[in-house]
Amino acid sequence: MVERYDRAKLLEEVWSEPVQVVAPRYGLSDVGLKKLCSRLQIPTPPRGHWAKVKAGKRVSLRPKLCEYTGHPGYLYRTAAPPSAQDPVAEVVDSRLQRVLSFEQQPENKIVVPERIKVWHPVVAAAREALVRPIIDQRGMPQTRGNGLNISVSAALKSRALRVADTLLKALEKRGYIVQQGKHQVEVVMFGDALRLRLYEPSLRSDYVPSAAQLAEKAKGGWSYWPKWQFTPSGRLQVMADDGYGGKITDSDRHSVEQQINKLVGLMATRAVGFLVRNERQAIEDAERQRVREVALERKRRQDAEKQRLAKLEVDAQNWRRAQVIREYLNALEESPERHEHSMEQLELLRWGRAKADWIDPLKPGVVDVLDEEIVIPR
């Protein structure tokens, strides 16, 4: 399961006890825990802190936990930490653990019968395809089309079909989905589609021409001989996703029939692994989106503050301009050299003061011809 670190709890722990005590709870060494705290932006006590505490000396106060601004992925782990009693135990996702436990119980052992009365539809189609199979480059019969992929010799055909039938029925009984994929049959486990294949490896050796071929060559006749010849190994393999999703093989000690439960567990391991990875990615994406939205909101507020400040500066400049105009007009009006003002001067004083009021942001609502947007027709 994907879990999120509790930063507040971890801060409380590392400031209440030495990291050597706290680290095993997280399955880490003391150095590993310090690195984790660094990634999570959690301050840790300075060197010598606990020696001062033991000696009764004054120490640094516990700092406050700041808002996390690092990579969102650092906040999560894919499973709960190992217990303090067993710090090296491997942690398994609970969903996978249930599958593995179920497959290990004796009463759930999958048994391949000697005879099949009613074939699974997918296997029935494969039986029909093997009546007139295609021959691969090894000379081995193989099913046609996009159904169940079976490539075995005639000697293993019956076994392969019975194993396939038993496996598919067991998977469906466990709640998994057997479906027709784009290219071949798939099994859907925990949302992941795994392609099934039954295969018989071949033994490769140098090609040995027949007596007839050698005689034809001795006569100077033309003939083509392949470089290799292939011999069926007699060992059956069952694979999911070409072996990446699990593979079982006949061995000297165990046949494929005895390992079907193991294959189910291997397939579940891969499927749950993809599921956990996707869950973690979804959480990281959501956290990254949250951090982005927080940053966008802060940027929006910052831009609004800048616009507000810019308007304030413009208003202050306009207020200063209006004051300068008024001061000049007052000085002009009170000039000792002018006892009487002409009509033109009086009009200038009136007009100038009106313009100062229009400029002054403290006198809103003043309308002037300068406010008009004049469009000259073409």
* pLDDT per position as a tens digit, 346-370: 999 999 999 999 999 999 889 998 9
Residue 298: the pLDDT is: 93
Please tell me the predicted confidence (pLDDT) of residue 13.
Answer: 92
How far is the CA of 23 from the CAs of 14, 17, 19, 20, 214, in angstroms? 9, 10, 6, 6, 75
Block residue for tokens 């840790």 = 44
pTM of the model: 0.61
Ranges 41-50, 124-133, 136-145: which has the least confidence: 136-145
- On the CB side of 190, CA atoms within 13 Å amount to 22
For the packed helices 94-104 and 260-333, what is the interaxial angle rounded to 10 degrees? 180
Q: What is the pLDDT of residues 8-33, one digit of tens each?
A: 999 999 999 998 889 888 888 888 89
**For position 136, what pLDDT does the model report?**
86
Q: Which is nearest to 332 in space by CA: 356, 316, 314?
A: 356
Q: Which of 178-187, 297-306, 322-331 has the lowest mean pLDDT?
A: 178-187
Q: Supply the mean pLDDT for the chain.
A: 88
Of the ranges 110-114, 141-145, 259-263, which one carries the lowest mean pLDDT score? 141-145
C-alpha dist (Å) from residue 115 to 126, 162, 270, 352: 17, 8, 31, 111
